[in-house]
Chain A
Amino acid sequence: MAEEPESALQLPPSTAADGEGPTEVSPETATPEPPSSAAVSPGTEEPAGDTKKKIDVLLKAVGDTPIMKTKKWAVERTRTIQGLIDFIKKFLKLVASEQLFIYVNQSFAPSPDQEVGTLYECFGSDGKLVLHYCKSQAWG
């Protein structure tokens, strides 16, 4: 599977508002472009004088989970797994009752408070952290 040639996009801050976009997302097709209000163009998320390097995260879908059209994201080290889950859920327009899990090593779900920076230090390679995400309903 060829990687997309685009450069890593910046993950918007947690408070990014939901934007407009098509509502239909089927498992077989890639998701539409991210909403324009999410401010994902490179550089806009870097605060002045910030020396904190962001982590390149590659998101891969597991199972019937919709594939994100944009897979590579630059994420702050302190972003938590839960923050990332919330972001992907918004991006994929999942409903509240659907759950999303993120795995490292395609098999282990880090705790919600785990930081991306820590995960990168433990499981990153080739300058990036690969995370698999999976939509499911685990309870209820």
Chain B
Amino acid sequence: MEEDEFFGEKTFQRFCAEFIKHSRQIGDGWEWRTSKDCSEGYMCKTYFQIKPGTVVSHLGTSAHVQTCLPTEEALELPLDDFEVTETTTGSEVIKYEYHVLYSCSYQVPVLYFRASFLDGRPLALKDIWEGIHECYKTQMLQEPWDTITQQEHPILGQPFFVLHPCKTNEFMTPVLKNSQKINRSINYITSWLSVVGPVVGLNLPLSYARTASQDE
């Protein structure tokens, strides 16, 4: 491993601190958590999302089916003389958790994530899969076990899904080398998370981009 990519735990924590500083400025919800017994820590973010239910209108003619949030403004009632009865089914709140930990073996950050319903039922990988952006699905479907695996969270000891870090160096190296070439330091965590986050439904607001790099 080249010196350039060396990324120790201290460096990891420093970048996380800078990342969280910006997160606080924009209310993006990231926090730092430490484990009780040692100096290890990780970044985490929890957010809740309403998985929309399906509104089905029962008509005499062709059914008008749409998926939308069950709010007044979102409903589009078809205008006709038929009696319309509507039922809303299956709208649920899902809790997403994203954790950024440091991997000693790979010496890179790793993204752990899980999703569950409010009653604690976890989402299965196939449900999470539906949330993955189309553009990643074809590539990842080829060998999903190399990309998303289920592992025990190193600090919490609970099962999480993990985006495998084996290729992290490969896509981060050109970005790092480029930053050195132009004499700009980058926040490794911001750059890395901007790449891997969208794969699992985590999109970073654009304002992070301004903090991602600065002139040295």
Interfacial residues, chain A to chain B (CB-CB below 8 A):
62-65, 82, 85-86, 96-97, 99, 101, 103-114, 118-119, 122-123, 132, 134, 136-140
- Please report B residues at the A interface, Cβ cutoff 8 Å: 133, 135, 138-140, 142-143, 146-147, 163-164, 166-168, 170-171, 173-175, 177-179, 182, 184, 186-187, 190-191, 194-199, 203-204, 206, 208-210, 212-213
The reply to whether A105 and B206 contact each other, CB–CB distance below 8 Å, is no
Inter-chain CA distance A62–B182, complex, in Å, is: 12
Q: A123–B174 Cα gap in the complex (Å)?
A: 21
User: Which A residue sits closest to B211, measured CB to CB?
Assistant: A108
A123–B213 Cα gap in the complex (Å)?
13
Q: Given A139-B167, A140-B143, A140-B147, decide whether A106 and B175 contact each other with a Cβ distance below 8 A.
A: yes
Q: Would B135 and A63 count as touching, CB distance under 8 A? A: no
> Chain A residue with minimal CB distance to B143?
A140
| For the complex of A and B, 10 pairs with smallest distance between CB atoms | A63-B174, A108-B209, A107-B213, A136-B171, A107-B212, A108-B212, A111-B203, A109-B194, A139-B147, A107-B186
The answer to whether B135 touches A112 (Cβ under 8 A) is yes
Contact with A140, one of B142, B179, B196, B212 (Cβ below 8 angstroms)? B142
**A63, A96, A97: the one within 8 Å of B178 (CB):** A63
Cβ–Cβ < 8 Å partners of B212 in chain A: 105, 107-108
Q: Which residues of B contact A134 (CB under 8 A)?
A: 171, 174-175
Please state if A122 and B171 are interface contacts (CB–CB under 8 Å): no
Q: Which residues of A contact B167 (CB under 8 A)?
A: 136-140
**What residues of chain A lie closer than 8 Å to B166, measured between beta carbons?**
139
Is the Cβ of B171 less than 8 Å from the Cβ of A101? yes
